[in-house]
Amino acid sequence: MTNDVFHKNELLDRESLHTLQGVRLKNVVFQASKSRFYRDQLFRAGVRIADINSVEDIRKLPFTTKDDLRNHYPDGMLAMPVDKMNRMHASSGTTGSPTCVFYTKNDLQTWADLMARCMYGVGVRPEDVFQNMSGYGLFTGGLGIHYGAERLGCCTIPAGAGNSKRQIKLLHDFHVSVIHIIPSYALHLATVFESMGMDPKSLDLRIAIIGAEPHSEAVRRRIEDLYAIKAYNSYGLSEMNGPGVAFECPEQNGMHIWEDAYVAEILDPETLEPVPEGEIGELVLTTLTREGMPLIRYRTKDLTRFLPGDCPCGRTHRRLDRILGRADDMIILKGVNIYPMQIERVLMSIPEVGQNYLIVLERDGFLDQMRIKVEVKEEFFVEDMRVLKNMQQSIARRLRDEILITPRVELVERNSLPRTQGKAKRVEDRRQES
Ligand code: ADP
Ligand code: K
Ligand code: ZN
């Protein structure tokens, strides 16, 4: 691995990594203290720069929330004058009004390096033709991945989101070998291929980077089978630059979180204390290299855990398990806690189930109900009511085994459920409507 995109830090022994984190943490706290927000926060918490001498000292530092970013909109979080900034992005606003993130020239460079590192690590090379199918504009999945791919040296096609027929034409005509695509869209795009009488397996595609939204292992396998490619999970959030925060390696077993650029903690969302080793909690992240807008102990609300043990690939950076969802995605129904990902895992492992589904929560009298609308693959969508009824009951049973309540299952035709551009909306809560 001699390419300059492969970074020596990827193999740094734990002790050196630890030391590096300590040094960078002190720097970043110093840098952050130049912002109005952190000057006040650190003062209130009674923390001085001199108190931060190793990465363990992170526990002395106060937390940062999405509301803090909103309350200090537009530039209260900046550690440098706005004229030193080189770019601005905003989060997609999936869970409320958007928040802005600013980058200096250096920040953009380190971000592109991290992103290139991720892609190189799964076998993307300068000879590859890369098509980015995520939305450009304020969303970091566009330009963030784009500059990573260019940094690596790929011929990069900024296709953007949507317009499936054109996506397919570009994939085909330019012999695209690597794509970045949102998993729910990858499933949908396969149905478009099908309706055009084309087989996505016949493309020159080898690798897909999939991320930006929670998805199950079953969805990854479907994408790999539909396209005959390898698909790698990519995690990021605009507050931490965007994509390139944690990424799978060829082992496809957990995402290495780049600990030379971020400190990751997994905490109990109630007590804000670390969860026992290997247990699920809220991921809390601190930037270690950002100068324009450093963030300390940012509460992502994303639920995951550290995977135990070393990765056979040799990278020393710890691995995060697949993101289960955001803390606020949890469905509470009849006293049972359910994550949409549990439902997806069951649905996507049933061969008759097509590429889209929707969870609807509704109120029936005084009772909360869950209705799951499930698209059925064309070849299984038959006229025979008895066959459909059996399929419906068998899906409901399998769901009950996983989530402990029996949902109403409604079978619908291929491509009949609503689709959003960008991140899929899996749950529709109508309980307050009646
Ligand atoms: P928004 O918070 O408005 O969606 P972002 O575009 O910054 O804005 O999205 C970041 C969020 O997307 C993460 O906090 C996480 O919830 C989700 N996400 C990103 N990548 C993944 C992934 N690989 N798996 C699961 N969820 C992901
Ligand atoms: K090239
Ligand atoms: Zn690995």
CATH class of 1-326: alpha beta
The set of protein residues with a Cβ atom below 6 angstroms from ligand 1 is 91-95, 139-140, 211-214, 233-238, 300, 302, 323, 326
Nearest ligand to the CA atom of 254: 3
pLDDT of residue 92: 64
Torsion, Cα of 116, 117, 119, 120 (10° steps): 110
The CATH fold assigned to 330-429 is GMP Synthetase; Chain A, domain 3 (3.30.300)
Q: Which residues pair with 336 in a beta bridge?
A: 333
Contact status, residue 181 vs residue 141, Cβ threshold 8 Å:
no
Q: Which atom of ligand 1 lies nearest, measured to the CA of 239? A: 7
How does residue 94 score in pLDDT terms, banded at 50, 70 and 90?
A: low
Q: Which residues surround ligand 2, an ion (CB under 5 A)?
A: 126, 153, 155
Longest dimension (CA), the chain: 74
Distance between Cα 154 and ligand 2 center (Å): 4
User: What pLDDT does residue 2 have?
Assistant: 47
pLDDT, average across residues 308-321: 97
Distance between CA atoms of 60 and 46, rounded to whole angstroms? 9
pLDDT at position 383, please? 85
Residue with tokens 């109403």: 408
* Distance (Å) of CA 1 to CA 4, 7, 307: 9, 9, 25
The answer to whether residue 310 scores a pLDDT higher than 80 is yes
Is the pLDDT score of 1 beyond 60? no
Average pLDDT estimate for 385-414: 96
> How many angstroms separate the CA atoms of 365 and 186, rounded?
38
98 vs 310, more confident: 310
Q: pLDDT value at position 154?
A: 98
DSSP 8-state symbol, 108: H
Q: Cis peptide before 74, with omega less than 30 degrees from 0? A: yes
Q: From the alpha carbon of 322, which atom of ligand 1 is closest?
A: 24
The stretches of 46-139 forming alpha helices (DSSP H) are 66-71, 105-121
Question: What percentage of the chain reaches a pLDDT higher than 90?
Answer: 90
Question: Looking at the predicted structure, is the pLDDT value of residue 315 above 70?
Answer: yes
Measured in angstroms, how far is the CA atom of residue 108 from the centroid of ligand 3?
25
**Which residues are close to ligand 3, an ion, with C-beta < 5 A?**
249, 251, 311, 313, 315
Quick one: which atom of ligand 1 is closest to the CA of 302?
16
| In the block, residue with structure tokens 């330009």 | 143
User: Do 1-326 and 330-429 fold alike per CATH?
Assistant: no
**Separation of alpha carbons 348 and 220, rounded Å:** 10
Assess whether pLDDT exceeds 90 at residue 95: no
Atom of ligand 1 nearest to the CA of 139: 6
96: pLDDT strictly greater than 80: no
Please tell me the distance between residue 171's alpha carbon and the centre of ligand 3 in angstroms.
Answer: 29
Domain definitions of the chain by residue range = 1-326, 330-429
Alpha-carbon radius of gyration of the chain? 22
